[in-house]
Structure 1
Amino acid sequence: MDPPRPLSGGISTQRTESGPDGDWIVRSVSGSQTTKAYRCPGCDHEINPGTPHVVTWPAEDYGTVEDRRHWHRGCWDARGRRGPTSRRR
């Protein structure tokens, strides 16, 4: 397995969060240095460049690049209270 490639700049904090869906590494990304749009798996809307958000991946085995997901902070916090969007299934 290749080592994980680093996330781009703008990362301010990293922590581990536990929930009913397991343990996750969560990195907060400041909006000032984000230059790419991402699709949030919680709401299926775009996270526009310049928008602060979080990047998550399974804590076990550090996850792979394919496991990383960019979420709106509110969507990440609400993931246990609502069902997945059609793209998350």
Structure 2
Amino acid sequence: MPRSNRRRGGGKRDGEWEPLDIARIRAGSRRTETRRGVEWTVQPIRPERALKPYTCPGCGREVGVGVAHVAVWRADSIMGEDSALADRRHWHTPCWRTF
């Protein structure tokens, strides 16, 4: 018998509908992580959006064009969000996980 991909039970999760958060959709799965007592904003970069090479601060090797990786910047910068965003660094995802 073929498998059905439709959800059963009305299609609502947890009983309540939540409107889409446009800012979250535009930001992708941006999240805040704490490493070594510092809060960091972590933005995954998909391969099709990786248009320039960067040097990974974790290993010192190149994050090439077309390679999925993460952009990371301080979430608690005293200079403000714009300054922190300008200081962001691009890491290989495994390098960031082990930082």
The yes-or-no answer on 1:39 pairing with 2:55 is yes
Percent identical across equivalent pairs? 37
Q: What is the CA distance between 1:32 and its match in structure 2? A: 1.3
Q: Provide structure 1 residue ranges, at least 5 long, that are not aligned to the other structure.
A: 1-10, 80-89
Please give the per-residue CA displacement for 1:29-78, whole angstroms capped at 9, x wherever unaligned.
0011211100000000000000000000000132140x200000000011
Q: Provide structure 2 residue ranges, at least 5 long, that are not aligned to the other structure.
A: 1-26
Which secondary structure does the structure 2 equivalent of 1:75 belong to?
helix
**Normalized against structure 2, the TM-score is what?**
0.63
The yes-or-no answer on 1:22 pairing with 2:42 is no
- Bigger relative CO (Cα 8 Å, ≥ 6 apart): 1
Q: What is the CA distance between 1:19 and its match in structure 2? A: 1.8
Q: What is the CA distance between 1:26 and its match in structure 2? A: 0.3
Q: What is the CA distance between 1:21 and its match in structure 2? A: 4.2
Point out the structure with max Rg over C-alpha: 2
- The total of aligned residue pairs comes to 68
In the alignment, the residues of structure 2 paired with residue 33 and residue 58 of structure 1 have an alpha-carbon distance, to the nearest angstrom, of 22
Cα RMSD after superposing both structures: 1.4
Which secondary structure does the structure 2 equivalent of 1:44 belong to?
coil
- The structure with the greater share of residues assigned to strand is 1
**Normalized against structure 1, the TM-score is what?**
0.70
Distance 1:46 1:21, change over 3 A: farther
In the alignment, the residues of structure 2 paired with residue 39 and residue 78 of structure 1 have an alpha-carbon distance, to the nearest angstrom, of 17
